[in-house]
Amino acid sequence: MLLAIETSCDETAVAICDPAALRVESPSHSDFLKADLIASQLQLHARYGGVVPELAAREHLNTLPLLVEEALQVARLSADDISAVAVTRGPGLGGCLMVGVSYAKAFAWARRIPLLMLHHMEGHLFAAELGQATADARVSPLVYPSLALLVSGGHTLLVELSEFRKYRIVAQTRDDAAGEAFDKIATILGLPYPGGPALSRVAESGDPHAYEFPIGVRQDPEAWSFSGLKTAVARVAKGIADRNDTVTANLAASAQDAIVNALVLKTMAGVSRTQPMQLLLTGGVAANSRLRQVLERELAMKNVVLRVPALRWCTDNAAMIAMLGARVMEHSSASLATQGVAAAHLPPDPGYGPLTRWSLENLEGPT
């Protein structure tokens, strides 16, 4: 049984899975995933309009031990049944990662079991293996080559998956992440936190053609830029004397379309360059129905399958870390001390600390 821990941002998450269940082809979720808990800190940070790193770390510290207890109860297991631990090593908020990594190290060291220290964004990719959260859903492996659009509050990345654990960044943002753009524009429009869902809800009744907003670095297929859009929306909003609900809805719909069109434009350029079999869409912004709708339409014309995990696994969670950890174990049973993985040392090697910044292209981390 593998215990997985995720504390990179504002969700404390713990999952327990049975890697042996992967020996059969497309096992059911219930055979593989024994517990999958997420304690969200959304309420804690709402009144500050964003995640406060120090508060988040303290909350992880309080919550994590209790959540591990609860996960063991849900799985009907005891701590002695756990034979490996997987934890998010980075990237993320330093204090938050430190809580998860320290806990995982101590847990693994005390029980003399292996510790896998994994990349958060790689976890997001493997969430696609979990697929949908329905009763009859099955775990199904990633196919290669694939392309993944990872869009969250902290990241906007287009990643090529050429083979197992081999990644190349095809495009990324130069400034704000797509989710951050949604959140900041929502704030400008006076919408509640978190801004993304609020903005997309308001946009439903608006006219996306009411305002012409720019697509940043339009000519560069390898980059996004969303900071200019935010400024443009602020300028237009300020110039409107009578901002009623219709105006707000039109602004929201037009801004949403600018973000979605930018995401789709660069994604489709990446599809042409890399010819993937599937496109994985994940991260919190994958919840945006307009984005899914436009992407699906464009991809269908290229015969590329769109694969979006259940929303629960698009946002931060530990099931994705469990999924990745189980695949890593499956592929490296001889030696766990390979890329992006550290075996548990006795005593724990202080060299394997959290990595707040860490590229998917360099899973071995800084040397």
Candidates 9, 14, 92; CA nearest to 51 is: 9
Q: Does 9 bind ligand KG4 (CB under 6 A)?
A: yes
Q: Which residue in 95, 194, 309, 365 binds ligand KG4 (CB under 6 A)?
A: 194
Q: Are 191 and 245 in contact (CB under 8 A)?
A: no
Residue 77 CB, nearest approach to ligand KG4 (Å): 28
Strands (E) located in 41-103: 84-90
Quick check: 316 binds Zn ion (CB under 5 A)?
Answer: yes
197 near ligand KG4, rule: CB under 6 A: yes
Return the range that interacts with ligand KG4 (CB under 6 A); candidates 77-85, 108-116, 191-199, 226-234.
191-199
Instruction: Considering only residues 246 through 265, tell me which ones interact with ligand KG4, judged by CB under 6 A.
Output: none
Residue range at the interface with ligand KG4 (CB under 6 A); choices 25-33, 131-139, 196-204, 347-355: 196-204
Interface region with ligand KG4, contact rule CB under 6 A, candidates 13-21, 137-145, 156-164, 174-182: 174-182
Exactly one of 44, 269, 287, 306 binds ligand KG4 (CB under 6 A); which one? Answer: 287
- 284: closest CA among 202, 213, 194, 355? 194
CA pair distance 44, 309, nearest whole angstrom:
27
Residue 6 touches ligand KG4, criterion: CB under 6 A? no
With residues binned 3-state (H G I as helix, E B as strand, rest as coil), the percentages for the chain, rounded to 5, are: 45, 20, 35
Tell me the helices (H) and strands (E) count for the chain, helix number first.
Answer: 12, 11
Task: Tell me if 91 contacts ligand KG4 by CB under 6 A.
Answer: no
The verdict on 183 binding Zn ion (CB under 5 A) reads no
* Closest among 214, 180, 201 to 252, alpha carbons compared: 201
284 scored as a contact of ligand KG4 (CB under 6 A): yes
Helix (H) or strand (E) holding 185: helix 178-188
Of the candidates 101, 112, 111, which has an alpha carbon nearest to the alpha carbon of residue 351? 101
Contact residues for Zn ion (CB under 5 A)?
Answer: 152, 316
Contact residues for ligand KG4 (CB under 6 A)?
Answer: 9, 152-154, 179-180, 182-183, 194-197, 200, 283-285, 287-288, 315-316
